[in-house]
Structure 1
Amino acid sequence: MSRAVVSPLLLVFAFVLSAFAAPADAQDAERVRIRGSNTLAHALVPEVAQSWLRDIGYTGIRVDRSKPALTEIHATRDGQPLIVEIGASDSARGFNDLIEGQTQIAMMTRRPNAAELDAGWQLGDLGTPEQEFVIALDGVAVVVNRNNPVVRLDFNQLRALLSGQSRDWRELGAAGQVHVHLDSSAGAVRDLINERVMRGAAFAEAQQHANARELIAAVAADPLAIGLIPLGEHYGAGTKPLAIADGGRAIAPTRTEVVSEDYPLSRRLYLYGGQMMGALSRSFALYAMTRPGQRAVARSGHVAVTLVPGRERRVTLGPGEYRQLVDNAVRLPLSLRFNFNGPSESGVAASVYDSRAVRDLDRLRAFMQLPPNRGRRLLVIGFADISAGSTMAAMMMSNDRADLIAQELVSRGLKVQQARGMGTALPVAGPRDAAARYRNERVEVWLL
C-alpha cells in the first residue's frame, strides 16, 4: 500500500527536480542579444560569434536555427550557459531595438540617419570607436565576358544597361544586344545596386541564376552578358570585372581599392552599441576587430578590414608629382577619413577621426612593428573635395589632412618620409553624391 502511494509522489518530485535542474539554456542563461540587418545576421555574425566563444574558453558550442529569423548559439564555460541571440530583420529595426533596450548590439549596413540619431540621443556619441564598430565590407562587382572590349562604366551607363534603357552594347564600343544576368539568391547585391545605382529604376528582364558561380559561368559563355556578383567571388578565366565611376575616376574592384573604400560599389557593415554595453557584448564587438575576428569575417564570405598590402603597381593616373612620389611604393589598403563636420556630412556626430580611421591608425602601428617592416618609411598623401571653394583652399586643406595624419603616425613611433597634399586630384565621388565631401577628403598611406 505504501509503495503504491510513494512511487507516484517520487515521480512527481523527480519531475519537479528535473525542471529546476535542467540546463538553463532557455531560462537562466546569460544572453548576448544582437539584432538588425539580415546581411550580417545570415553568416557573418554567427561565424564571428562562434570564433569568439571558442577563443574566450566556451565549449559545447551549438547553433540552433529552429526559429524563423533567429539564430541562437549555445555554449557553456565553467558550468555557466551563455546564448548569443542573432535576430535577422533590417538595419532600421535593429537600431530601433537598440534604442528600446531590446538588444545590446545593432547590426547595420549603414550609419544611423539623422532621425534615428534624434530618436536615440540617449545612446551617446555613436560615431566614436567605443560604440561604432566597422567589422567588414561588402559590395558588388560588375562582370562581363572576357572578350567584351568595355573596361569601365559610370553609374549612369550601368543604370541604363541594367534597366534596359540601353539595349545594345554598340553605345559603349561593343556590338550586340545586352543580356543581363542576376543571382536570384543575392538580396544584398540587389539592395546595394538599388540604393546606389538604380535610384528608383526597375531592373530589365534578366536571366536568373541560383548562385554567383552559376552566374559567372553563364557570363563566361555569353559574349554579350553583364552580371552582378558579391565582392570576393572568383571571377574565373572567362569573365572580368569592370572599373566603376561615381562621378569621379573609374575604379576597379581590386582588394586595395575595396578595402580602402575608394571603389564606389562597396559599403561598410557595422555593429553599434550604447554607452552602457555589457561586458560580454563589448567583448564580442571588440573581438570582431581583432585578427582572429577578421579571419572569421573572411570565412563568412565578406571582405575583412585587415592591413594586407597588395603588390606594387605602376600608377598612371593623377598629377605628375603624385605619380613621382608613389613610384616604387606600395599603397596600403586604407583611406583615412574624417568627421570634421559632424552629422551634417557623415550622418554621425563624431570626433576628428572617423571611427575606422582610429582603428586603422592602430592597425598601421602594429603592421609597421612586424619584423619585415621595422625601419621602413611611410608616405602620406592627402586629398580634398571640390567643395573647399578654390584650388588654393583645396590644396591647403589636403596638406592639413596629410600633416595631421603624419603627426599621428610619428606620435606612434613610425617614420614618415613625406606628407603632401594633392588638392582635388583623383576624386572618388562626384558632387551629386551626398557623401562626396566625406569620401573625397581622405589620406592615403604608402609603404616605401
Structure 2
Amino acid sequence: MSRIAGWCVAVLLSMAGANAHAQMDAERVRIHGSQTMAARLVPAVAESWLRDIGYGDIRREQPNPTLTQIHAQRDGLPLIVEIQASSSAQGFQDVIDGNAHIAMMTRRPTAAELDAGWQLGDLASHDQEFAMALDGAAVVVHRDNPLAQLSLVQLRRVLSGQARDWREVGGRGAIHLHMMASANSARDLVDERVMQGAPYAPAQLHADGESLLRAIAKDPGAIGFVTLRQPWGANVRPLALSDGGRAIAPTRLGVQSEDYPLARRFYLYGSQMMGALSRSFALYAMGQRGQDAVARAGHFAVTLRPGYAPPTLAGPKEYRELVGNATRLPLSLRFNLTGNNESGVAASVYDSRAVRDIERIVAFMQLPVNRGRRLLVVGFADMPGSSVAATMMSNDRADLVAHELMARGLPVLHARGMGSQVPLATTGSVAARYRNERVEIWML
C-alpha cells in the first residue's frame, strides 16, 4: 500500500471512529411503542420539534426495520431521537424497565400495566398522559347503497357473515365483504370494538386501502373499512355508526369530539421523572406547532378549530332549542370518574385531554374573529335509573366547566344539564359512562 493510500485509510478509519464515538456520547430521547405511531406520526413531530428548538443538521436513519433514529446537532452537541416500533404494551414495559423515556400507545394502560408501573406516578395526569392525535376507522359502502347507518351490533353481524343480505339491516341485495390482506390499524380497532373475538366472513382481499376502495366503488353490495386517514373517493361513502346511542358519522366534528364510536386517541406516556428533553418533546406535541406536524402526518390534530352546527340535531326539544342557532366546537370535555378514569387515578376531575382543551378554548375565544361571541355549556350524565339524579349530575358537570371558563374571562350565556338524554353508548360499563358523561361547548 502506498503512503498516500495508507494515509487515506487512516483518515477514514479515524472519521468512522469519531462518528461512532459521537453516537455513543450523544444524548438520546428514547420513544418506544406503537408501530402505527412510529411509522410517520412521531418522526414527523420529532423533526418539527428539533427544528423549532434550534437543532440543525437533522437527518433520519433506519438501522433496522423497526428502529428510526433522528440525528441532530445544536451548539456542536449531538442528539438522537430513537423511535422504536414494537407495540403499545412493549413501549409501556420499556418505560417501566428504564429502556425508554416515552411510550407510544394507541390505548390507555390496562389495570395490570398500571399495577406493574406503579412507580411511574400518576399516569392519568395531564403531566404524564399526553393525547397526541386522533385516529380511527371508517366503515365504507358503495355510494348507491341506501343504508345510512349501522349499530355496532349490526356491523358485527355483517362483518361476521351472520347477516348475508343488506335487507336484514335495512338495505338491499347481497353483502360483499372487502378487507385488506395484511394487518393494519383499522383492522386492529374493528377487532377490538366491533368483532370482540367473532371471526370475519369470507372476504375479497386487497393489497392496500386504495385497491380496497377502488373495488368498493365498483360493487354496490360492498362493505369494508379503512383508516380515517385514507381518502375514500367519489363513489364510496362512510356509514354513521351507533354504539347503543345516537349514530355519528366520521366527520371532523364527530372524530375530534370523540363522539364517533370508532375514533381513538394516540397517547404519549412518560414517568413523573422523565427528563427535560423528553418532557419538552411531549409538551411540544400538545402545542400548535406540534399539532400542525400531526396534521401534516395525516392524523386528526386535537387543537381547536371552528366546528359547525350539525344539519340535524338529535335530542329533546329543550336541547335543540338551546343550541339550534349555535356552532359546536369540535370537542367533548370528559372526566376522571370518581377520581378514576378508564385505567388510572388522577388528581384532576378532568381527563388529561380536557385539561388542555379548556386552555385551547380560552385561546380560541381570544382570537380577534371570536371577540363578542358567547358560549353555551351543555352537560350530559350517565344515570338511566334516576332522571332527577341524572339532571342534577349533568347540571353539576355543566356548572363546573362554565365556572372554569368564566374564571378565565370567557362569557358563558347558559350552562345547562340534559341528564341521560342523547347518550352515545349503552350504559352499564365504565367505558360507556366515560363516553356518555361529557360536556359540549357551543358558540353563539
Task: Please tell me the TM-score bracket, short chain as reference.
Answer: over 0.9
2:147 aligned residue: 150
Which stretch shows the higher mean deviation, 236-245 or 412-421? 236-245
* 1:194–1:200 CA contact under 8 A, matched in 2: yes
Deviation at 1:240, TM superposition (A): 1.4
- 1:403 counterpart letter in structure 2: D
SS of the residue 1:268 aligns to: strand
- 2:351 counterpart letter in structure 1: D
Per-residue CA deviation, residues 293-326 of structure 1 (Å, 9 max, x unaligned), is 1111112221111211233334431010100011
1:342 aligned residue: 339
2:129 aligned residue: 132
Say if 2:101 is the partner of 1:104.
Answer: yes
- 1:447 counterpart letter in structure 2: M
2:438 aligned residue: 442
Say if 2:406 is the partner of 1:421.
Answer: no
Say if 2:295 is the partner of 1:316.
Answer: no
- 2:112 counterpart letter in structure 1: A
Deviation at 1:232, TM superposition (A): 3.4
From 159, 162, 176, the equivalent of 2:173 is 176
* 2:246–2:314 CA contact under 8 A, matched in 1: no
From 395, 406, 409, the equivalent of 1:410 is 406
Which stretch shows the higher mean deviation, 333-342 or 184-193? 184-193
From 57, 62, 69, the equivalent of 1:60 is 57
Per-residue CA deviation, residues 399-431 of structure 1 (Å, 9 max, x unaligned), is 000000000000111000000000011101112
In 2: Cα distance, 1:161 partner to 1:301 partner: 29
Per-residue CA deviation, residues 121-166 of structure 1 (Å, 9 max, x unaligned), is 1111111111100000110111111111111101111011111111
2:203 aligned residue: 206
* 1:41–1:87 CA contact under 8 A, matched in 2: yes
- 1:246 counterpart letter in structure 2: D
1:191 aligned residue: 188
In 1: Cα distance, 2:314 partner to 2:154 partner: 22
* 1:315–1:323 CA contact under 8 A, matched in 2: no
- 2:252 counterpart letter in structure 1: R
* 1:216–1:236 CA contact under 8 A, matched in 2: yes
In 1: Cα distance, 2:269 partner to 2:185 partner: 20
- 1:332 counterpart letter in structure 2: L
Per-residue CA deviation, residues 34-69 of structure 1 (Å, 9 max, x unaligned), is 001111111110111111111111111111123131
- Pick closer, same or farther for the CA change 1:272–1:412 going to 2, 3 Å: same
- Pick closer, same or farther for the CA change 1:232–1:427 going to 2, 3 Å: same
SS of the residue 1:60 aligns to: strand
In structure 1, the gaps of 5 or more residues are none
What is the TM-score when the length of structure 1 is the normalising length?
A: 0.94
Say if 2:264 is the partner of 1:284.
Answer: no
Q: How does 1:208-223 map to 2 (within 5 A)?
A: 208-223=205-220
Deviation at 1:106, TM superposition (A): 0.5
* 1:25–1:82 CA contact under 8 A, matched in 2: no
From 216, 219, 230, the equivalent of 1:233 is 230
Which stretch shows the higher mean deviation, 112-121 or 352-361? 112-121
From 293, 296, 300, the equivalent of 1:299 is 296
Give me the identity figure in percent.
62
SS of the residue 1:435 aligns to: helix
- 2:122 counterpart letter in structure 1: D
In 2: Cα distance, 1:173 partner to 1:271 partner: 41
In 2: Cα distance, 1:16 partner to 1:246 partner: 63
In 2: Cα distance, 1:164 partner to 1:425 partner: 33
Deviation at 1:236, TM superposition (A): 2.1
How much is the aligned-residue C-alpha RMSD, in angstroms? 2.0
From 323, 329, 344, the equivalent of 2:326 is 329
* 2:337–2:434 CA contact under 8 A, matched in 1: no
- 2:129 counterpart letter in structure 1: E
What is the TM-score when the length of structure 2 is the normalising length?
A: 0.95
In 2: Cα distance, 1:238 partner to 1:14 partner: 61
**How many residues in Structure 1 have an aligned counterpart in Structure 2?**
442
- 1:90 counterpart letter in structure 2: S
Deviation at 1:280, TM superposition (A): 0.7
In 2: Cα distance, 1:16 partner to 1:254 partner: 57
1:45 aligned residue: 42
In 1: Cα distance, 2:170 partner to 2:9 partner: 82
Which stretch shows the higher mean deviation, 169-178 or 104-113? 169-178
SS of the residue 1:135 aligns to: strand
SS of the residue 1:298 aligns to: helix
In 2: Cα distance, 1:79 partner to 1:401 partner: 52
* 1:186–1:211 CA contact under 8 A, matched in 2: no
* 1:132–1:272 CA contact under 8 A, matched in 2: yes
1:394 aligned residue: 390
From 263, 268, 271, the equivalent of 1:271 is 268
- Pick closer, same or farther for the CA change 1:209–1:325 going to 2, 3 Å: same
